[in-house]
Chain A
Amino acid sequence: MKSAWGGGFGAMLRRDLRLALRQGSDTATVLAFFVIVVSLFPFGVGAEPQTLSAIGAGILWVAALLAALLSLDRLFQADYDDGTIDYLLASPAAPSLIVLAKCAAHWLTTGLPLVILSPLLALLLNMPAAGFPALILGLAIGTPVLTLVGAIGAALVLGARRGGVLLSLLILPLYIPVLIFGVAAVEAAATGRGAAPHLLLLGALCLAALALAPFVAGAALRQAAE
């Protein structure tokens, strides 16, 4: 009826970005977690440059996965707890657009900082220079998938006790394809075979998640509000 279709997306995105900036803690927590997990590995597996360089991409990707998961259980929870979800679902904005806007804000405040920080940590892990573009590009394409697929889980566990643990069990298996292609891209680039096929597959995952996840998560939100 009104222009609330596009307006709803913009309003939601602006509000979530503003809240994230005011609180600031989510981005800081995710980044600190990412750095700490990555820097644990040299202590665990030994600080030999060859070992670290061989498993560096895997470490970075697993750490990024876990860091994304850490912030995902808050994606809808705060809005659920204070009644905002009810008002959102009774507003003219489509649930899928609300989910999409919240995912965009979540990625901008957690996924993008991870992407920017990753080259520094890759240096720490002695990753071959040839792997850097594939790592950064792979994370840039892959982290939106983590957010979008995670949003489905976050919406499904609303109202459940210990939702955070349940979310991990639900979502981590679904992250496996992203992990496989993300790590394979870096390794292919480092050995000179070309990362393009893996990055294209990641891109396909990203587009599929972009097209489907908002609708599924939107339906799960409606379910949670009933």
Chain B
Amino acid sequence: MNSADRLECRDLACLRGERLVFRKLALSLAGGAALRLVGPNGSGKSSLLRLLAGLGRPAAGTIAWNGADIDGDRDAHRARLLFLGHQDAVKPWLTVAENLEFWSALHGAPAERAVSALERVSLSAQRNLPARFLSQGQRRRLALARFAAIPARLWLLDEPTVGLDEASVSAVEALIAGHCAVGGLAVVSTHLALRLPGEQTLALDGAGAGACAA
């Protein structure tokens, strides 16, 4: 079933203020594959991920899931995606476990997955530590733990490896590989040479166009 999932964008354009970030952008991604977004700063990687997450609407063009425009049923789209932005959204006054459990409950995910999710990002030892004592890389890993705890078919990750050490970068690669192995889709913006399943790349050139290459 899941391997039939398909994310498609056609003629997508994005305005940020008065500035055209990109236009005529097309991409197509099938279940089981990951798409790497590359491009210089300001070329619209984050803007594209936010559009895909439904945070804002494209100035032109369509985003479709299995052929149906996501504008038609935004609730269903939100229920199938998981988004990681620049910020970690970690509450310093809650413990590591409480932070993750909140997101699990909000998404209606099973609570017991949160325990193994902290193991996946090597934060088990810190589970009862207030999050204000975490380092920047540990906070990023806590934000990434949501992806192990909450089932979703479409992952949208904006610079997931910022502030991470080498071992954690490998853990992120393993997470994404595991997600794609069961038919999930992932769109990842990164400046690192992450090993991603499918090895598709979309290059945004910063001059308003994008080119997709397998």
Contacts and interface: CB of A to CB of B under 8 A. Distances in A.
A18 B78 CA distance: 26
A146 B94 CA distance: 28
Contacts of B75: 1, 92, 94
A23 B130 CA distance: 12
A19 B55 contact: no
Contacts of A1: 75-76, 79-80
A90 B94 CA distance: 21
Interface stretch (A79-87, A115-123, A196-204): A79-87
Contacts, number: 91
B83 A87 contact: yes
Interface string A113-142: 000000000000000000000000000000
Contacts of B181: none
B61 interface: no
A93 B106 contact: yes
B93 A19 contact: yes
A94 B87 CA distance: 21
Interface residues on A, range: 20 to 34
A22 B89 contact: no
Contacts of A15: 91, 94, 98, 102
A82 B54 contact: no
Nearest to B146: A87
A80 B78 CA distance: 19
A90 B53 CA distance: 6
Given A1-B80, A7-B108, A90-B78, A83 B102 contact: no
Contacts of B103: 87, 91
Interface of A: 1-4, 7-8, 10-12, 14-15, 18-19, 22-23, 79, 82-84, 86-94, 225-226
A178 B203 CA distance: 56
29 contacts: A1-B75, A1-B76, A1-B79, A1-B80, A2-B109, A3-B108, A4-B108, A7-B105, A7-B108, A10-B105, A14-B102, A14-B105, A15-B94, A15-B102, A18-B94, A19-B91, A83-B88, A84-B89, A84-B91, A86-B55, A86-B83, A86-B87, A90-B54, A90-B82, A90-B156, A91-B106, A91-B107, A92-B107, A226-B56
A152 to B, nearest CB: 20
Contacts of A92: 75, 78-79, 106-108
